[in-house]
A and B are shown apart, each in its own frame.
Chain A
Amino acid sequence: MARVVVDVMLKPEILDPQGKAVQGALPRLGFEGISDVRQGKRFELEVGEVTEARLAEVRTIAETLLSNPVIEDFEVHVEENAQ
């Protein structure tokens, strides 16, 4: 089994109120100097075998369902030694 990971992040120009809220909480916990926090999503897709065709399929999944290209970017990578 192999694992393909899709990371989805809001585009840099899109406001991320959740990230801002997390950043705002950090000083209250005593953590200073974190200038920005952006929150994203990580999807782990278990696939039988990683082939070019499979990766192309995952990219299609990422751009049609897992992300909204109007507001989000995504990255696909293969995680080695997944259980």
Chain B
Amino acid sequence: MRVGVVTFPGSLDDVDARRAVRVAGHEAVALWHRDHDLQGVDAVVLPGGFSYGDYLRCGAISRFSPIMTEVVAGAGHGLPVLGICNGFQILCESHLLPGALIRNDHQKFVCRDQRLRIESTATPWTSSYEVGQEIVVPLKNGEGCFVADRDTLDRIEGDGRVVARYLEVNPNGSMRDIAGIRNERGNVVGLMPHPEHAVEAGFGPGTDGLGFFRLVEALVG
């Protein structure tokens, strides 16, 4: 598969994300925020970082970049989209995912190897995991506190749309320990921790993150 990784001004983890795509056996395609062109990719990753310096709100300005017009349209047609960290923030700002991400409740930037439980495998990004599987991947964020109103949270949980939950420690105050969610269709996933930093032995806590990039032909659509 050809997997596009968007670079915004201020993206940080686009190179690691492209490497993770290649390690998983796919072709990585660099996409540019100012282009109106997805170059025919089969899936898109919005990487972590500080696009537009996190000005206004994290992801708020990136949402209106030309490439996001195409990503939003593609997502509507079932294109698999994974937003990691800043990418998750952009997906929430784009209303492709519910809720929002605000400053960590303890006010400090957090960087740690984080244990997660995968709770939904009905997405192309998590279909190589088992429901209930525990993984450890790096987490690093200053504004990773997932919030939504009670009705939204109940709906997300009731529909089985929590993709991953924090275990042992809630690192940022996220409601109901939510680390990642998906849209109703399952093709769009947002995740605060960084699976792209855990795809090669000897670099990071292990290779638990690789499964996100395997993109096993999934039950999308």
- A18 near B103 with CB under 8 A, answer yes
* CB-nearest residue of chain A to B101: A71
| A10 shortest CB reach to chain B, Å | 8
Q: A68-B93, A70-B99, A71-B100 are in contact. Are A15 and B60 (CB under 8 A)?
A: no
* CB-nearest residue of chain B to A66: B56
Q: Is A14 an interface residue (CB 8 A)?
A: yes
Q: Is A21 an interface residue (CB 8 A)?
A: yes
Contact mask A7-44 → B, CB, 8 Å, 1/0? 00010011101101100000000000000000000000
Q: Is B34 an interface residue (CB 8 A)?
A: no
- A70 near B145 with CB under 8 A, answer no
Q: A15-B173, A17-B107, A18-B107 are in contact. Are A68 and B60 (CB under 8 A)?
A: yes
Q: Is A65 an interface residue (CB 8 A)?
A: yes
Interface size on A, residues (CB 8 A): 13
Q: Is B147 an interface residue (CB 8 A)?
A: yes
Seen from chain A, the residues whose Cβ lies within 8 Å of a Cβ on chain B are 10, 13-15, 17-18, 20-21, 65-66, 68, 70-71
| A13 shortest CB reach to chain B, Å | 8
- B103 near A65 with CB under 8 A, answer no
Q: Which 3 A-B pairs have the closest CB atoms?
A: A70-B100, A71-B100, A17-B107
Residues of A within 8 A of B105 (CB): 15, 17
- The answer for the CA separation of A20 and B92 in the assembled complex, in Å, is 25
- The answer for the CA separation of A18 and B100 in the assembled complex, in Å, is 16
Residues of A within 8 A of B57 (CB): 68
- A68 near B100 with CB under 8 A, answer yes
* CB-nearest residue of chain B to A10: B102
* CB-nearest residue of chain A to B149: A13
- The answer for the CA separation of A63 and B106 in the assembled complex, in Å, is 28
Residues of B within 8 A of A66 (CB): 56
Contact mask B105-135 → A, CB, 8 Å, 1/0? 1110000000000000000000000000000
